[in-house]
Structure 1
Amino acid sequence: MRAFKKAVVGVLGAAALTVGMAGTASAGSYNGVCESAGGGEACLYYTYDYAGWVYDTLYSKPSYTGTYYGTEMPINDSVGSVWNRDPDSSLKLFTGANYTGSVKVVPGGGKFNALNTIFNNAFSSHCFTSNAGCP
């Protein structure tokens, strides 16, 4: 009986370790790292080269009220480039809050540089097309 208990404890311990390891592989929204794990993130950059200040999120955002990670710089109307790290869903970017205004669609895994476009520093909300509330 003691051997059986040790075996059960060993299996449960291994299962807990496996679950813990799987948890670290998923993307962490707003951690300053543009990740593709866990479904992929919308990565909004202040610059036009997909580097530097980033706002990274796994979620659709009806309005940009946050700041770039580790800064006081608001993301609303200041996005220079976008990287959609979700390989399966397109990302719709809107010039107005609550998914209004002009729209730019970035396909799954795609990038968009807003320099010299009508969307230069113009985004105020976004949604993933996999989200049922995305217009």
Structure 2
Amino acid sequence: MSRSLPRRLGSMAAVAAATAGLLITTAVGAAADSKNGVLETNEFGLYYNSGQLGCVFDVYDHDENFTNDKFKGSCSGSGQSTNDNTASYWNRDSVFDYYVYTDANYRGSWGTIPGGYKGNASSTFKNKISSTNS
């Protein structure tokens, strides 16, 4: 299940109340930070290597198809496709679970990564993840 619109609007309202006038900047910034190769709070990260090592593919909310996604940075795995090429993960969202799928468009085998959890992908998912959703 995708994050609900009320949660996002509630989050934006809280930010706007705390930093008057920055609602639009905050909304644009959240979208721009996703997939930048830096795992930030409220994002889900898939790592090139086990133990949360190597490059990280960071996503906020969902990505239905990793085919055109690549690991970024000057780290192990840089420039490699994210699709079917991840060995570990970290859910930096403390509230929402993330779901990973072995096929694009949320198909195939799926698993749940609880909020705040990190670990190595099981044999079912290691180097087989192709989409994710929160």
TM-score where L is the length of structure 2? 0.70
Work out which of the residue numbers 105, 126, 133 in structure 2 matches 1:127.
133
Larger Rg: 1
Please give the alpha-carbon distance, in whole angstroms, between the structure 2 residues aligned to 1:103 and 1:15. Answer: 41
1:30–1:15: structure 2 CA closer, same or farther, 3 Å change rule? same
Report the structure, 1 or 2, having the larger strand content. Answer: 2
Work out which of the residue numbers 63, 85, 90 in structure 2 matches 1:78.
85
Work out which of the residue numbers 61, 65, 68 in structure 1 matches 2:71.
68
Aligned counterpart, 2:53? 51
| Structure 1, gaps ≥5 residues long | 1-13, 129-135
What are the Cα deviations for residues 44-72 of structure 1, in whole angstroms up to 9, with x where unaligned? 10000112211111130111020011332
Q: 1:106–1:112: 8 Å Cα contact kept in structure 2? A: no
Q: Classify the secondary structure of the residue corresponding to 1:119.
A: coil
Q: Note the C-alpha offset of 1:42.
A: 1.0
AA at the equivalent of 1:45 = Y
Q: Note the C-alpha offset of 1:15.
A: 5.7
1:15–1:126: structure 2 CA closer, same or farther, 3 Å change rule? closer
Please give the alpha-carbon distance, in whole angstroms, between the structure 1 residues aligned to 2:98 and 2:72. Answer: 20
How many equivalent residue pairs?
106
Q: 2:52–2:119: 8 Å Cα contact kept in structure 1? A: no
Please give the alpha-carbon distance, in whole angstroms, between the structure 2 residues aligned to 1:83 and 1:122. Answer: 16
| Structure 2, gaps ≥5 residues long | 1-18
Q: Note the C-alpha offset of 1:80.
A: 0.4
Aligned counterpart, 2:105? 98
What are the Cα deviations for residues 66-113 of structure 1, in whole angstroms up to 9, with x where unaligned? 001133200000110011111111000000110011111000111130
Q: 2:106–2:131: 8 Å Cα contact kept in structure 1? A: yes
2:119 is the counterpart of 1:112: yes
